[in-house]
Structure 1
Amino acid sequence: MNIGDKVRLLRAKEQGVVSRFLPNGMIEIEIEDGFRVPVMRSELVPVSPLEAERLLKNNPYAAQKTVAPATPSILANQGVYLAFVAVNDREYTLHLINNTDWEFPYVVGEESAAPGGGTQFRGLQSGVLKARSQQKFNDHYLHASFEGWPTFVVQGLWFRAGKSSLRQPLVKRFKARTATFFKSKTTVPVLNQPGFLTQLDADTSESDATLPNSNRPVQPKSVTLRPDELKAEMLRSKSDQEPVSVDRPSAVVDLHVEALLPNGVGNRSPADLLKLQLTTFERTLENAIASGMNDITFIHGVGSGALRTELHKRLGQHSNVKFFEDAQKQKFGYGATKVTIR
Structure 2
Amino acid sequence: MNIGDKVRLLRAKEQGVVSRFLPGNMIEIEIEDGFRIPVMRSELVLVSPMEAERLLKPSIYEPQKTVAPAPPTIVANQGIYLAFAPVNDREYTLHLINNTDWEFPYVLGEESAGAGGGVQFRGLHSGLLKPKSQQKMNDLYAHAKFEEWPTFVVQGLWFRAGKSSLRQPILKRFKARAATFFKNKTTLPVLNQPGFLTQLDAETDQSQVPTNQPKPTVIRPEELKAEMFTPRSELSSISVERPTAVVDLHIEELLPKGQNAGLSMSRPPADLLKLQLDTFEKALENAIASGMSDITFIHGVGSGALRTELHKRLGKHANVKFFEDAQKQKFGYGATKVTLK
TM-score by length of 2: 0.48
**Which of the two has higher C-alpha Rg?**
2
Larger relative contact order, structure 1 or 2 (CA cutoff 8 Å, min sep 6): 1
TM-score under structure 1 length normalisation: 0.48
